[in-house]
Structures are given as C-alpha cells and as structure tokens.
Amino acid sequence: MAECYTIRLTNCAFFARHGVHDEEEFLGQRFFVDAELEVDLSDALETDSIEGTVHYGVAFKVIEDIVTGKRRYLIEALALDIAKALTAQFSQIRLARITVRKPSAAVPGILDHVEVTVEHRA
C-alpha cells in the first residue's frame, strides 16, 4: 500500500505586483503557480471523504491569498510563503513543491518566462 499520494494544481493564474523594480509594483502582471503536494495516506481514500484529505478548492484560495497579498521582491520568497501556508493549513501535506512562473520578467532579452521551484517539508 502506498504511503502517500500527490495532488497537483497546475497553472493557477493571478494578477499581482511582485518584483524588485518600482514599475513591477505599479503595473503588475500575471503570475502562474503550480502546487505539487505530497499528502499522507489516510482513510479518506477508503472512505471517500473530503475531511481527511487536502481540499483543492481551499488550497487554491490559500495560494490566491498569498499571491495577491503583500508584495514580494523575489518569486522565490513568494513560492516559499505559499508552501508554508499550505502545509500550515493542511496537516496531511508532508511536502509542498511550489513553482512560480513570471512571464514578464524584467531581463534584457527575450524569454518565455522565469520560473522557480521551492520545496518545503512539513
């Protein structure tokens, strides 16, 4: 029997104002978040009960509140704050792997996006 299972929320999109430059705070932009959550196996799967697992609607709202909340200069810090908030909200999460993508990164070149991934163990 497996000891855990994985829940993924992929490409969650939010408008926010993160970044080092003043223009990033003034203009804002879209950010994209992936959350990969390793969840302890419980009887929730056997009983088919939402009570013993991670409610991904609530998880999405936790992510949204962090991303659209206070400004962070680093998307790395944003990813860590999301991971910590999710593990605090759901005791069943043993590992939160959070990826944040910033499509309009202020770099002197052409790229699709900048992306960071942070892992946080509960």
Return the bridge partners of 118, or none: 98
Distance CA 1, CA 4 (A): 9
The residues near 28 (Cβ < 8 Å, ≥ 6 apart) are 15, 16, 17
Catalytic option among 61, 70, 84, 102: 102
Distance CA 99, CA 93 (A): 16
Whether 84 sits among the annotated catalytic residues: the reply is no
Q: Which of 46, 37, 50 is nearest to 7 (CA)?
A: 37
Which residues form the catalytic set? 102
